[in-house]
Amino acid sequence: MVLSLRVELKTTQAAQTNQAATISDLEATLDRFVEKVEEKLDSIVQRLEAQQEEYRKGIREIFATLFPVNATEEPPEKRKQEHHELPQGLTTKSEPTPRKNAEISHGHFVEHLAYVSPAEEF
């Protein structure tokens, strides 16, 4: 009986050693897998950041072409004020509302946007 217990104990120890080796191998494999995934994700992030920078550069070029004056050079207070102003060449003028009912249209005015060339402005 003592001999069978020793054999059983050695078998159990060998099985535990094999399990520990298997677990260590799995952990190492998992670590390598995680490193590869992190490298791929880093590569993807770098490509996306480069694309984003290219798009921003293109947008800046388009903006500079359409609006030659760079709005970021002005103080923030001035930019906020001009945000609600009409672009040059647009102005408001009041006209009577075009309705058939005289009671409604009499004396009521509606603001309309109308293009006025800079020459007509003054």
pLDDT band at 104 (very low <50, low <70, confident <90, very high): very low
Q: What element of type H or E holds 110?
A: strand 109-115
Residues 112 and 73 in one domain: no
Which residue segment(s) compose the domain that 34 sits in? 1-85
Residues 81 and 62 in one domain: yes
Residues 11 and 58 in one domain: yes
C-alpha distance from residue 41 to each of 44, 46, 73, 77, 80 (Å): 5, 9, 37, 42, 40
C-alpha 9/C-alpha 6 separation (Å) is 5
pLDDT band at 16 (very low <50, low <70, confident <90, very high): confident
Residues 111 and 93 in one domain: yes
Say which DSSP state 84 is in.
T
- 68-98: pLDDT as tens digits: 875 555 555 555 555 555 555 555 555 554 5
Q: Which of 74, 110, 114, 60 is nearest to 92 (CA)?
A: 114
The domain tally of the chain equals: 2
Residues 53 and 90 in one domain: no
Comparing 39 with 94, the larger pLDDT belongs to 39
Cβ 93 vs Cβ 112: under 8 Å: yes
